[in-house]
Structure 1
Amino acid sequence: MKTVDEILKSKAQHQTVYTIGPTESVLAALKLLAEKNIGALPVVEDERVVGIVSERDYARKLMLKGRSSPFTTVAEIMTAAVITVEPKTKLDECMQLMTDRHLRHLPVVSEGKLLGLLSIGDLVKETISEQANLISQLQQYIRGE
């Protein structure tokens, strides 16, 4: 079973982790989410993850409460009790955590510093790849190759 570090390394060539500060406006966060076609942003202050803000936070904590995105800060709607994983965490542990906690994104942190961001799509893609590889190996074994 692969680790988070291995998954991040395979994503490295085509993924930049975009972040936002807690004092930025929600409108700035929404613009960044839309521009980069992403669903969540780690909220970083002094190089430390202090929260995460997602489209879900926007819908539930701003729109449904009648707030205004240009005048509301990210800190006001972000999820502050952010759940993170370390590079050595196994893929199956991440999947279980995301399933149990109903998460779509997991920041990867080491010694307090953000290293990357995993989405549920990243984990599903990796799981499918591992299963396809296992099936291929079993088919070769059955055929005596």
Structure 2
Amino acid sequence: MTKTVRDIITGRAVVSVRPTDSVREAARAMYDQDVGAVLVMEDGRLRGIFTERDALRFFAATRRNPYIIDVGVVMTHDPVTVDADSPADLARDLMLTHGFRHLPVVEGGEVVGVVSLRGVSSDLP
């Protein structure tokens, strides 16, 4: 039986922040929840994703204050998504092709989770 993205994300909470939350708040949410990315949501809609890579680039490459810069300024806007019922290997291929490690998962237009390259790779042969 082919594993789906839903099989991998089941039981995992969606960690999100608002575009107007600070970079520091987003980084803190990732730290507190032990995740590598947070979804940026507004009015129930996915606006972007903020990842460890975004945080590293922000902190290492700028002198901006993470306490006052909105995460909406530095997030990845309109991220690629994958359907929850998609095969897990499709999610892996999307991440490898596009060069990212976290992929928002949707079902019927609603965000239901995030799948990571590590999570997908560990569940596939």
Q: TM-score, structure 2 length as denominator?
A: 0.91
State how 1:1-145 maps to structure 2 within 5 Å: 1-9=2-10, 12=11, 15-127=12-124, 131=125
Give the paired residue count.
Answer: 124
CA positional deviation for 1:53: 0.3
User: Deviations along 1:87-131, whole A, 9 cap, x unmatched?
Assistant: 12111111111111111111101232111111112101211xxx3
Q: Distance in 2 between matches of 1:106 and 1:51?
A: 11
More contact order relative to length (CA 8 Å, sep ≥ 6): 2
- Asked if the contact 1:17–1:117 (Cα under 8 Å) also holds between the matched residues in 2, the reply is yes
CA distance in 1, matches of 2:64, 2:78: 22
> Gapped runs of 5+ residues in structure 1?
132-145
Q: Which has the larger radius of gyration?
A: 1
> Unmatched 5+ residue regions in structure 2?
none
* Aligned-pair Cα RMSD in Å: 1.4
- Between Structure 1 and Structure 2, the one with more strand by share is 2
Measured in 2, the distance between the counterparts of 1:83 and 1:35 equals 25
Identity %: 32
Q: Deviations over 1:33-82 (max 9, x none)?
A: 11222111010111111100012112223530211100100100000030
More helix by share: 1
- After superposing on structure 2, the runs of 4+ consecutive aligned residues of structure 1 that deviate more than 6 Å are none
